[in-house]
Chain A
């Protein structure tokens, strides 16, 4: 199939950037969206032009590296799917496709569609971990976890940190990401020791990075490739308010 792409081109962080039109031909329906971009880039390189920079790594939907807004939706039109797992059968011959980077003050554009998501790493560094003593691993069954808690922790742990929640939120809020990381550890026995400090420090770092505040549009939940429910944001609000207003309880 033959497609018209409208792609965001930005030479570097200081460049103002603009939308650029590209024609790409010879696309088949079994290609992934990233393979379609690879083809467009091969054509650009062949013509002696600069290829479109975009982030990608595992290309199997588990690393959270691919990040682009396709036709106004983070990760494109297919629910519960990362850009790398979106296939061209979701499009038709002759389609025009708009491709933009994730937009957020806390995700500055490095080049074209590549954004710096270091702000997520700094939120994790602020408290999204459990401290354990080194030594040999203890027996797996030493710490019993209720099935309900294990399921909740797993649902939250499915977050791959791609940032689609931020990209889709009208407020540029990172609360689904932070809530998933916090909720994952809050449901497990290993997460209890640092539970309150974690809630306070992760939220403080999230605010310091310049993310917006949730106003319950639930756009994040709709685009999340791992379909993490926004009820985790409610739990995070409860964790944070309890930890900050009753630190000793």
Chain B
């Protein structure tokens, strides 16, 4: 069976979602760990940003791979949602959930919100189109992009921090179901490890929530910057 035929099947579509999900989760973790250097001060964060920029063509390769992964994840999600809606044309008058979670029931909603946030986030801190603090493009004393100054000024603006806070809660809701699901979809979840694997998603979500929210909230509170 070719990989194309595999992907066309329901399990193949889910596997594509799981594999792309793993790449996206690894990216989100790496992105957070990089950003946490904001606590090390302006020099550390600006040097990190300058190092990423100096990758040149490699940076573009990474960006394109991430974009492709993101698109494949979305396409697989649209297919699965369409398939699943078609599978129950007549709804129940009464249906009581026994096991599912809020996060699982709202995956497509959180997915759409994350897409909108990702667009906003790139426009805000990568491209500088949305720049309420007016600090995009400033240079530090060593002539590097002053990412630190931009982040501090950005999150001292409370509406920006509010948007990021909501977005992080939504992202973590998505990850809490998705990260456990991918283990089942790829066939790694077994009777012996099921209860442990089911905690992977929520644990990862809490880790991301604490790490990612600590930055804008501590900046808004004036603890950093």
Contact = CB atoms under 8 A, between A and B. Distances in A.
Contacts of B184: 216, 230-231, 233-234, 237
B14 A237 contact: yes
A191 to B, nearest CB: 17
A103 B187 contact: no
Interface bracket on B: 35 or more
A124 to B, nearest CB: 18
Contact of B187 (A207, A229, A237): A237
Given A219-B99, A219-B100, A213 B10 contact: yes
B14 A213 contact: yes
A247 interface: yes
Contacts of A103: 88, 90-92
A180 interface: no
A72 B92 CA distance: 8
A206 to B, nearest CB: 7
A234 B83 contact: no
B105 A170 contact: yes
Contacts of A223: 98
B37 interface: no
Interface string B8-34: 011111110000000000000000000
Chain A contact residues (Cβ within 8 angstroms of B): what range? 35 or more
Given A215-B80, A218-B99, A222-B99, A237 B11 contact: yes
Nearest to B190: A231
Residue picked from B14, B87, B89, B91, most chain A C-beta under 10 Å: B87
Contacts of A83: none
B142 interface: no
A244 B13 CA distance: 13
Nearest to B18: A237
Contacts of A72: 92, 94-96
Interface string A179-219: 00000000000000000000010011011001111111111
Contacts of B80: 213, 215
A216 B187 CA distance: 12
Contacts, number: 152
Nearest to B187: A238
Contact of A244 (B6, B10, B183): B6
B188 A211 contact: no
B84 interface: yes
Interface string B74-89: 0000001001101111
Given A217-B105, A234-B189, 13 more contacts: A69-B94, A103-B91, A106-B87, A170-B97, A172-B87, A203-B11, A211-B10, A212-B87, A213-B80, A231-B189, A234-B188, A237-B186, A245-B3
Interface of A: 6, 8, 19, 69, 71-73, 98, 100, 103-106, 168, 170-173, 200, 203-204, 206-207, 210-219, 221-223, 229-231, 233-245, 247
29 contacts: A8-B93, A71-B96, A73-B96, A103-B90, A103-B92, A104-B87, A105-B86, A105-B88, A171-B88, A172-B84, A203-B9, A212-B10, A213-B10, A213-B11, A214-B10, A214-B185, A215-B14, A215-B80, A216-B185, A219-B100, A231-B190, A233-B184, A234-B184, A234-B189, A237-B185, A238-B186, A238-B187, A241-B11, A241-B187
7 smallest CB-CB distances across A and B, nearest first, come from: A238-B187, A172-B87, A212-B87, A72-B96, A222-B98, A171-B84, A217-B100
Interface of B: 1, 3, 5-6, 9-15, 80, 83-84, 86-101, 104-105, 107, 177, 180-181, 183-191, 194
